[in-house]
Amino acid sequence: MARVTVEDCVLRVPNRFDLVMVAAQRARDVSAGAQLTLERDNDKNPVVALREIADGTVDTDALGQAVIKGLQKVVEMDEPEEDDGGFGAGKTELLSDLMPSEAAGVTDRESDEDVDIEVEGDAEGEEPEGEGPGADGGAGNEGDGPTESENEA
């Protein structure tokens, strides 16, 4: 019985792919509780949907739009118009919120001078304490020579 129904539906929806999509949408609507336009006659929802499409009792264009809306991932919204003033037009406190150091009268040069902090062992040839050869209390690398404890003995 479904084969005859599909052949009847192709007259209303010529593309079989579109027919499947529209019939599936109608079957989902029926499953969700939509009002039937034909008697069920002990048929399942997809068969009822195909019979409704074949008889022309449902609007296939509305079903097609429902399919499109259900598959959309991005909701179309009207974008607000942009101001002609550009970025931050009319909002002087915006700049002070973003850069509080400049709002307080501190320039880049003054703030850069505060950052010059010396790190121990950063200069050439220096090694920070506890990180050189023999710092682990052992003999150090081979060929470094005797350690202080070996010199005392």
Residues whose CB falls within 8 Å of the CB of residue 45, separated by 6 or more in sequence, listed in order: 27, 30, 31
Q: Are 60 and 53 in contact (CB under 8 A)?
A: yes
Domain carrying residue 14: 2-71
Cα–Cα distance for residue pair 153/9, rounded to 1 Å = 106
Is there a domain that residue 83 lies in? no
pLDDT digits (tens, 9 = 90+) for 100-113: 665 555 555 555 55
Cα–Cα distance for residue pair 24/17, rounded to 1 Å = 11
Instruction: Choose the weakest-confidence range: 3-7, 14-18, 43-47.
Output: 3-7
Q: Mean pLDDT over residues 36-61, rounded?
A: 92
Is there a domain that residue 22 lies in? yes
Mean pLDDT of the chain: 75
Residue 146: predicted pLDDT:
66
Is there a domain that residue 116 lies in? no
pLDDT digits (tens, 9 = 90+) for 84-137: 666 555 555 666 666 666 555 555 555 555 555 666 655 555 555 655 565 555
Residue 46: predicted pLDDT:
93
Is there a domain that residue 109 lies in? no
Residue 36: predicted pLDDT:
93
Q: What are the tokens at 113?
A: 């001078």
Full-model pTM: 0.47
Total domain count, the chain: 1
Domain harbouring 31, CATH code: 3.90.940.10
